[in-house]
Structure 1
Amino acid sequence: MIKKLAGLLLLLPVLAISSVAIASDQQSAAELRKLLDQTTTLKGEFVQTLFDGQGKVQEESSGDFVLKRPGKFYWNTRQPYEQLLVSDQESIWLYDPDLEQVTVRSAQDDLQQTPALLLSEDVNTLREHFAITQQAVDASREEFLLTPTRKDGLFQTLTLVFTGEAKARKLSEFHILDNLGQLTRFVFQKSVANETVSDSIFQFTPPDGVDVLYD
C-alpha cells in the first residue's frame, strides 16, 4: 500500500523560439507569468509515469484533474487505484478509499512540497521559492525548469512544458525529478482551458466512517 501512495505523496510533501535558448531568472519568470496568465482554469485527463534512475518504467497511473489559479486543484487518480487529492488553497486533502483514510494538511506553507499546487500558484510566489530558467525548444513548445532554493524538499527539479501556438499555449505536461533520481512525468490529455469551474469541486467532505488524520 505504501507503493501505491508514492505518486500522490510526491504531490503532497506536490499552470517560441526556434532554437534552444536559456534566459535569465527574471526574464524567465516574466515569460512564465505571461503563459500562466493566459490560463485561469485547466481541466482534462492525465497519465502519470514513474521512471527509475536508469529510465525504466516503474509504474503508471491515470485519472482526471481540474486546476484553478491561484492555488486550487482537484487530482483524481482512477487507475490502477482510486485516490483523490484536493486543495481549496487553504487545506489539502488526500483521500484513499481502499485505506478508508483521509489525510488533511495546511496548504499555506507547503509550496515546495506540493508540485500540483505549484501549477496553480502566482509566479511572484514561485520566484520566492524557486530559481526559474526558461528553455525554449521550438516555436510550438516552451519549457521552464524550476529548482527549489531549499534543499530539504522531496524533489530536485520541476519542469513545466507548454505547447500550442504562441498566443494560446497551455500547460501540457510536467516532470518531477526527486531526490532519489527518479523521474515522474505527468502528461495532460483532452485538456480544456478557461472554462468556468465551480469552487465546490475544490471542497472535500470525508465520507462517513473513514479515519481523518491531521498532518
Structure 2
Amino acid sequence: MLLHIPNVLDAATLAHCTALLKQADWTDGRVTAGTQAATVKNNRQLPETSPVAQQLRAIVLEALSKNPTFFSAALPKRIYPPLFNRYGDEANAFGNHVDNAIRTHPATAQHVRTDMSFTLFLNNPTDYDGGELIIEDGLGGRAVKLPAGHLILYASYSVHRVEPVTHGVRLACFTWLESMVREPQRRELLHEMDLSIAALRGEHGETDTAVRLTSCYHNLMRMWATV
C-alpha cells in the first residue's frame, strides 16, 4: 500500500508547528538509524526527549486519532512516538534503506513491529529543491513530495530513500506503526471494503446491503485482528 492522506494538519496547526520548529535544536539523525541505514543517513533530527519534540508529537498523534482515512488504512495497534527530521545544507539526504523490523522505544522498552511507515510533510515543496521520498515498488520507484500537512503511508519493508535537498530546508515528521492486521493484503482488503461501505451509504443510505457488508467487514476484523 502507498496511500496519500491529505490535510492531516490544518493551516492553523501547521503554523503552530512552524513556530515550534523555529525553537528546535537539531542533532545527528543517525541516532535512530539501524546498522545498515546509519551508513547512508545524513540528516538532522530532534532529540526524542526535547520539549519541542514532545509538543509536536502530541499535536501529530491527536491529528492522527481524528483522521478516519489513516485509521481505516493502517488499523494501528501501536505507533512508535513520532520523530522529526530536517534535510538541508550539508545534512541533506538519506540513501536507500529498509526500516528495522522491530523498533524498541528507549524510555519504555516497548517493542513495535514496523508494519507501516509514514512521512508527514511540515513545509511546502516550494520551500526546497530536491528532497523527494523515493519508495521502490518494482517499477523504478515512486517519488513523493507533498504539500505541508499531507501524509504518505507505505509498507515498512519497502526500500526507500530521500533525495538530496539542493536548496532550502525540508522538514517532516516520520515514524512506524504496528497494525492490528499484520498481513498487508488483508489490511488492503479491509480498507477497500471500508471505502466501499462508506460510498454505498453515501449513495443509498443505511440499506440492508450496507448492513450486511458492514457485518462482513467486522467479522473479518474478528478473524484477522490481534489487539
Bigger Rg, which one = 2
Q: TM-score, normalised by structure 1?
A: 0.30
Which structure's residues are more often strand, by fraction? 1
Which structure's residues are more often helix, by fraction? 2
